Chains A and B, each alone.
Chain A
């Protein structure tokens, strides 16, 4: 029996439910059929050449079990970046936990809803938008659509700025072992709207679970969305995530992907530039150790003219870890005056570490500026000498310069408290405590 037919059985065994009238069951049934037809990708697929998902495909992850222990504010404190003034939606083992969430009344006219609430309060919006950006042709997206049970829907109406960041925290505890979660995010920023979203994936001892996340982000004309993803899953966990944005004219979409978790992860961040003069920035940092494998794929589709795309990804690879970066840029024939720049740098600190990096440019317009650059290396000798010439020993020099390599890309995070918190995480990770 193949792995994907197990998911069909699980799907059939679960009640598809009657929520969402008939459009939702239809969407889900279509998705499981697409998943069945596609099956899990293999390394023969060009998009998965360097990443084998066999460890995911050979298991059958059942929909995750709810947590049996009541978590407290202290349990989630390590994951909230020290902010109690942000909107916080906490999901534990995939289920929304109102008692842990800090979801104050919005001071502006906008909607932030869990999936369940959205089905009741804004079913038309969901029916119209859900699944339109991230079509189910990708197996993992199809699987998410078939099994999605909860998630968050954000809608910011025209010309409204939602200044307070929205933090969605997906926490998993030990009851999630061998389970799967398929959280779903839908963000709609209408014309001239603004929103900042942070999605954090973290664990409190979750074992070998599988998070399969999909986010769809619609950035309207002249709108701006800042979207941060912090993936700190457990050491045995699997994480696959796809974010698909579309952008209208004069819009801005900034995404940052921070990856330190999971034994195997694949994070896709895609944006389709549909309106002229729009700007996208897809940045990221991954720090891996031992035998971790993290694959980051970006895809920018320049459909409209005069748009700019900027991508900076950095990776630090310790132990025998393996990083993959695949940055795809497509420039349509009509997308003249496209300005695209992509760089990625990897620092190999482990003797067995490896990185595969593949820029992929497909350019069909003639008046474009598209560059890409990649470096793979070790610490800069001059910087090492500089530190040592100040009396700092070899070990601390290495630690500080490794941290500095990472901190440089964190500078691109515009949400200051998040930047500071992530700097702190990396500082503690790379820099040994001072000997008192």
Chain B
């Protein structure tokens, strides 16, 4: 009874806490000054047609670097918590996946991978980017794991892709510091024509590296959970 009462008090006080925030949100009619600057100068300065990408990768690029670091730490935590002695995989006989799932996987896997790569390579032009593309690649791998429980993935390759893309990402940021105006500046490569694939300086390269990193990290999480399950 006391517990329920306390919980009610907590919920109501929390609601009162976020009420002022909700009152502040008025239906806006024009962009705030910072967004105006990004929208006005972003395409000319950075050459990225997708302004969200311009904000994520360049203007607020440090946030993205921190975000990649958080994801890496979470993956390391998952790997650490699920660490255990390597047991022979598939020692307990499992029912194989159905014919439909297996055939569907064979058909869909390359398409899903291709689409994931398309999403992160076109991150500066269309909705999407490194994170979305990486998750898509990981979902393709999940399909493979589901359809064939004996699938082994090469951990060396996975770790190489993950650490190399992370290192190259930081390396590109430092290159911006040396060759252009500052850390994470993408303008040391030609900006190109707005809206074409090869535009936006280093943005497509950075986003592709993020895509590879996120994809390999999520595949690592899936693999850890799966190995633990068997």
Chains A and B come from one and the same complex? no
B: residues with CB less than 8 A from A are none
